Structure 1
Amino acid sequence: MLTALTSGGKQVVLTRQSSLTSLREWRKNETYYCPQCKEQVLLKVGDIVIPHFAHLKQTTCRDSFSEGESPTHLLGKIQLYELFSQLHLQTKMEPYLPAIRQRPDLLVTWQNEQIPIEFQCSTIPIARILERNAGYHTVNMLPIWIVLTPPKIQDSSAFVLAYQLTQFQQHFIRHIHSSTKEKLSVFLTYNPSKQQFHYLSHFIHLRGTAFAMCHSVMRIKHQTIPFAIPATPSRKDIEDLTRQYQSARRKYLRSVIGYNQRGIHHRFLRACYEMRMQPIQLPAWIGVPTFGQAAFTESDCEWQLLLIAAIRQTRCTPFQLNRSTLHSFVKTFEGDSSLQLEACQNYVDFLREQRIDIYRMDKFMRRDFVLEILSGRFLAMHARN
């Protein structure tokens, strides 16, 4: 941990302003205590590890969340503390909140509101994250979690990339409200070694945990409060996102037979067989990035084709569709059925707008319609934020 109390009750915060020599002098002349449990702590000052305080082995401090921190975590906390302090915001390092028995990494006061800042460098159970968030909510605090930038993102200079986001990482995606159907989603990460924030945004679900996304980098000295949000994607960015999406679609359709172990019992292949077509022959209007598509872990090609098959079984068109058909359909998938229902309705709306005849699988569509979909999706999102 980076905070302690002197024997006189004065709080000490370890930052990069103090030299190792001066810290070693402090250690000789002062005794330090944990601000939480009031037991003695040691000031550790080495040549490699970042200076920090540590409890004695026989501690009774049950809520010492900062124990066992990595050098990366310590460095990141110091840099973020310095950032907020330089922005002239009241900033507390590792304050203990007795009402909820929690200690955020930082507590920043902005516009008379206290905001806990958590810099998360390791994977922990999501249940623990939810528990901590629930604690903050009971005292009317909305925390901001900043995740350590993944190594593959740290080394990438690409503005558009495809990346596998773990379920843990997906949990930290912030959804910025807008008046459009879809929220602007941002995954904020920080890399202390290069003092850079990496933003991942404008996600397009591909399949499973794979997404195409925009990637932007901001030096810590350029960061603002509230945190800056990513700029509107350029035309070239949206073209690159479109290529990533279409490439993933082709890859899935070409591989689904070769890597399938269930044969005709695979629901997608069964639907293709019943419609007398090969997966690679799927019309372009099946497998499109409509609003809410991330509610399904399956490829858009798969769930959208299965939805077409379900509608065809009712002998209806998208204009005649009864919503109960959608309710029955989403029950066959794992996931949040309410979000999946919304995604299905958005796809049906797309079919209606394009006046697609779902009984004509050879229906032609121009090649650039996916680009138009994504352009409308992201440009409208920023225009109304």
Structure 2
Amino acid sequence: MKHLLTAHTTKGQTVILTRNMSLPELRERRKNETFYCSQCKEKVHLKVGDIVIPHFAHYQQTNCRESFSEGESPTHLLGKAQLHELFLRHETEVKLEPFLPDIRQRPDLLVTWQETHVPIEFQCSVIPLEHVEQRNAGYHMLDMQPIWIIITPSAIRSSSALILSIRLSQFQQFFIRSIHARTGSSVPLLLTYNPSNEQFHYLSHMIHLQGSTYALLHSIMRLRHQSLPFALPAAPAEKDVQELTRHYQEARRKYLRSVIGYNHRGVHNQFLRACYEMRVQPIHLPTWIGVPTKGQEAFKQSDCEWQVLLITAMRETRRTPFQLDRSFYHSFIKKFEGDQEKQIEACVNYADFLRQERIDIYRLDKYASGNYVKEILLRRFLAMHAKN
């Protein structure tokens, strides 16, 4: 059954259910009025309970299916109503659950900012990513750029920590978007919302650790403090970068300590074989191998692993970071799964780092120390917000 917050009366008036409507008032209206779906024109119930937020619902036998992809939970209804109130409070033109006939879609909200229509989708359930892509394609046909807000991950709903290491599912990672800062740089951001305590949780300035785990900056904004357009996360302070560095280095140490003990393939494992050929124990890798250069999230492997293999490929072909070309990178990334263009970009950025630091990849005992991680993160994150 499909749940709605909007409907039409017999006279064609639009009814929008808001939280300031009392339950007795709604029950009285239910007795005296008939309500219809604004899309299919069929009758709908006005459901007024003591637990679930009041809403309209189709009768079970209905043909009004095309513009919805899934049933809506009480959390979704509540979040949608709260976001609607946010835009009204800012006196911004907003439509709740408008039907867009040209693409047969119904976004949760359609907001107009400076004569630009922006669909807002609040996503609480996990749906196939192809469905999300189809919805986005529909909006793009109308020259609209949607904003997706997902439900705050349960692991951080009650957390006030500024720096976290957290696993993000493939579904959650899909909604990470690049927000342009005033400097022209882009900030990776996952915008989430928790209706139960009316808080936005911003997950930004992400560093990929391994697999689906990221270290990131976590900031909280109350619904009543949210601005329009949506506020951007602040630049991390130097102490925040220091804490991100600690998370990254701890994950690096944990990986290097465990790679031998938990791997039964021994030297048949590419990473261990590379370390063996370079005559270095994984735990003794120099600090310039396993650093978070830009784009490293293109690899699901630990930075230590793919960077060791890249160093090995250079040494086998008797090249230096100054002698790499696109054919070399294409040959190297064949052994990895993922977006090849993004992986090449990550490799180029790592080679740039090696050149800038004038590191001799044939001397693992040289430049073995040095806090490259903190230096890289300071350059990457603080530079994003450097201009006034």
TM-score between both structures, scaled by the size of structure 1 = 0.97
Structure 1: stretches of 5+ with no match in the other structure: none
User: Which whole-Å CA distance do the structure 1 matches of 2:52 and 2:326 have between them?
Assistant: 61
User: Which whole-Å CA distance do the structure 2 matches of 1:181 and 1:286 have between them?
Assistant: 29
The counterpart of 2:104, out of the listed 93, 101, 117, is: 101
Matched, 1:40 2:43: yes
Matched, 1:22 2:25: yes
How far residue 183 of structure 1 moved from its aligned partner, in angstroms, is: 2.4
Matched, 1:69 2:83: no
User: Which whole-Å CA distance do the structure 1 matches of 2:297 and 2:208 have between them?
Assistant: 5
How far residue 325 of structure 1 moved from its aligned partner, in angstroms, is: 1.4
Cα distance change of structure 1 residues 373 and 181 upon mapping to structure 2, 3 Å threshold: farther
Cα distance change of structure 1 residues 66 and 18 upon mapping to structure 2, 3 Å threshold: farther
Deviates more, 1:368-377 or 1:284-293: 368-377
Specify the alignment match of 1:258 in structure 2: 261
CA contact (8 A) 2:288 2:372 kept: no
Matched, 1:237 2:247: no
Query: 5 Å matches for 1:46-85?
Result: 46-65=49-68, 68-85=71-88
Specify the alignment match of 2:363 in structure 1: 360
Specify the alignment match of 1:147 in structure 2: 150
The counterpart of 2:205, out of the listed 202, 207, 210, is: 202
CA contact (8 A) 1:182 1:292 kept: no
User: Which whole-Å CA distance do the structure 2 matches of 1:97 and 1:261 have between them?
Assistant: 56
Instruction: Report SS of the residue matched to 1:343.
Output: helix
How far residue 322 of structure 1 moved from its aligned partner, in angstroms, is: 3.5
User: Which whole-Å CA distance do the structure 1 matches of 2:10 and 2:354 have between them?
Assistant: 72
The counterpart of 1:289, out of the listed 292, 297, 312, is: 292
User: Which whole-Å CA distance do the structure 2 matches of 1:67 and 1:249 have between them?
Assistant: 41
Aligned AA (1:58): Q
Matched, 1:322 2:325: yes
How far residue 262 of structure 1 moved from its aligned partner, in angstroms, is: 2.1
CA contact (8 A) 2:94 2:110 kept: yes
Aligned AA (1:256): V
Deviates more, 1:263-272 or 1:317-326: 317-326
The Cα offsets for residues 14-43 of structure 1, whole Å up to 9 and x where unpaired, read as: 001110000000000000000000000000
CA contact (8 A) 2:86 2:224 kept: yes
How far residue 49 of structure 1 moved from its aligned partner, in angstroms, is: 1.2
Instruction: Report SS of the residue matched to 2:323.
Output: coil
User: Which whole-Å CA distance do the structure 2 matches of 1:179 and 1:118 have between them?
Assistant: 26
How far residue 231 of structure 1 moved from its aligned partner, in angstroms, is: 0.3
Matched, 1:308 2:308: no
Instruction: Report SS of the residue matched to 1:257.
Output: helix
User: Which whole-Å CA distance do the structure 2 matches of 1:84 and 1:62 have between them?
Assistant: 27
How far residue 181 of structure 1 moved from its aligned partner, in angstroms, is: 9.6
CA contact (8 A) 1:178 1:384 kept: no
Query: 5 Å matches for 1:163-242?
Result: 163-177=166-180, 183-242=186-245
TM-score between both structures, scaled by the size of structure 2 = 0.96
Instruction: Report SS of the residue matched to 1:116.
Output: strand
User: Which whole-Å CA distance do the structure 1 matches of 2:357 and 2:70 have between them?
Assistant: 58
The Cα offsets for residues 179-211 of structure 1, whole Å up to 9 and x where unpaired, read as: 989621110000111100000000001011110
Matched, 1:124 2:127: yes
Specify the alignment match of 2:140 in structure 1: 137
Matched, 1:346 2:349: yes
**Runs of 4+ that moved beyond 4 A:** 178-182
Specify the alignment match of 1:246 in structure 2: 249
Aligned AA (1:232): A
How far residue 360 of structure 1 moved from its aligned partner, in angstroms, is: 0.6
Structure 2: stretches of 5+ with no match in the other structure: none
Cα distance change of structure 1 residues 182 and 316 upon mapping to structure 2, 3 Å threshold: farther
Cα distance change of structure 1 residues 85 and 179 upon mapping to structure 2, 3 Å threshold: closer
The Cα offsets for residues 101-141 of structure 1, whole Å up to 9 and x where unpaired, read as: 00000011110011100000010000000000000000111
Specify the alignment match of 2:9 in structure 1: 6
User: Which whole-Å CA distance do the structure 2 matches of 1:62 and 1:109 have between them?
Assistant: 26
How far residue 64 of structure 1 moved from its aligned partner, in angstroms, is: 4.7
Aligned AA (1:77): K
CA contact (8 A) 1:296 1:340 kept: yes
CA contact (8 A) 1:5 1:12 kept: yes
The Cα offsets for residues 167-189 of structure 1, whole Å up to 9 and x where unpaired, read as: 10011111123698962111000
CA contact (8 A) 1:32 1:42 kept: yes
CA contact (8 A) 2:183 2:386 kept: no
CA contact (8 A) 1:118 1:143 kept: yes
Cα distance change of structure 1 residues 66 and 339 upon mapping to structure 2, 3 Å threshold: closer
CA contact (8 A) 2:359 2:367 kept: no
Cα distance change of structure 1 residues 277 and 181 upon mapping to structure 2, 3 Å threshold: farther
